[in-house]
Amino acid sequence: MTGNIRLLSDTLAAAKAEGRSALIAYLPAGFPTVDGGIDAIKAVFDGGADVVEVGLPHSDPVLDGPVIQTADDIALRGGVKIADVMRTVREAHEATGKPVLVMTYWNPIDRYGVERFTAELAEAGGAGCILPDLPVQEAGLWREHAAKHDLATVFVVAPSSRDARLAEITAAGSGFVYAASLMGVTGTRESVGAQAQNLVERTRATRADLPVCVGLGVSNAEQAAEVASFADGVIVGSAFVQRMLDAPDTAAGVEAVRELAADLAKGVRRTA
């Protein structure tokens, strides 16, 4: 089976055709359990998310703030494995027909084997991978196998990225570009800031056909609407994870993320 990069591209294009940004949600696999995590992802899709990123829990998540670190720790203590991540991708995609990516640091893939990882992700119906710590100049092996299996390679850009660097990244990437709205780790914030809009504009200037989606800091409909006014996609992670952490049990957490997704989905549609 080949991957779903075309489904991802078509989903982002369909949102654009509606005059709105896509809503992209993030939740880690195995949190609070493997089954509970799958239920939460299905609920987020049901609430209105267009795309979901499944996090591969890592013991040293350098890009992630305390909320996602806490969820990763719960998942790792629960014994989550890469096989559980693949199962999460498969069941979420098969239940909804929507694009599901994996967000992971490079080390787990390197240890698992690039060919094995990409083949299994494609077989599970995955759309691709977001690789926040893989330098584009060292991504040749990954890109070769990702292309072989029709998987998107999503790189992360930051406000500190110079224009020449942005051009290098957009030339190598596929699916979309993940634009970090500010320097720092993931987490909800009072304001997403003007840095994000400037970064989107500079990134688009290097390659107009590759969508630019913004993450880090968005937690409510107002912020989603703000980012949706200039980005192709609005990425929300910590706010979903926090809803799960705050819930008294898994069932309540699943309902909480469904409600948040519905609220955010209204936000990204305000500019339509």
Distance CA 175, CA 211 (A): 7
Question: Does 72 qualify as catalytic in the annotation?
Answer: no
Average of per-residue pLDDT across 187-208: 79
Q: Which class would CATH give 3-11+23-269?
A: alpha beta
Question: Does 53 qualify as catalytic in the annotation?
Answer: yes
If residue 54 lies in a helix (H) or strand (E), which one and from where to where? Answer: strand 51-55
Domain boundaries, the chain: 3-11+23-269
Distance CA 114, CA 157 (A): 23
- Residue range 105-160, pLDDT digits in tens: 999 999 999 999 999 999 999 999 999 999 999 999 999 999 999 999 999 999 99
Pair 154, 130: CB distance under 8 Å: yes
Pair 262, 48: CB distance under 8 Å: yes
| Selection from 238, 216, 190, 206 nearest residue 71 by Cα | 238
- Residue range 25-38, pLDDT digits in tens: 999 999 999 999 99
Mean pLDDT of the chain: 93
Q: Identify any residues that bridge with 23 across adjacent strands, giving them in sequence order.
A: 234
Catalytic residue from among 18, 35, 50, 53: 53
Q: How far is CA 216 from the centre of its chain?
A: 11
- Cβ-in-10-Å burial (0-12, 13-18, 19+) of 262 comes to middle
Catalytic residue from among 50, 64, 150, 226: 64
Give the pLDDT score at 188: 44
Secondary structure class of 267 (helix, strand, coil):
helix
- Residue range 171-184, pLDDT digits in tens: 999 999 999 975 44
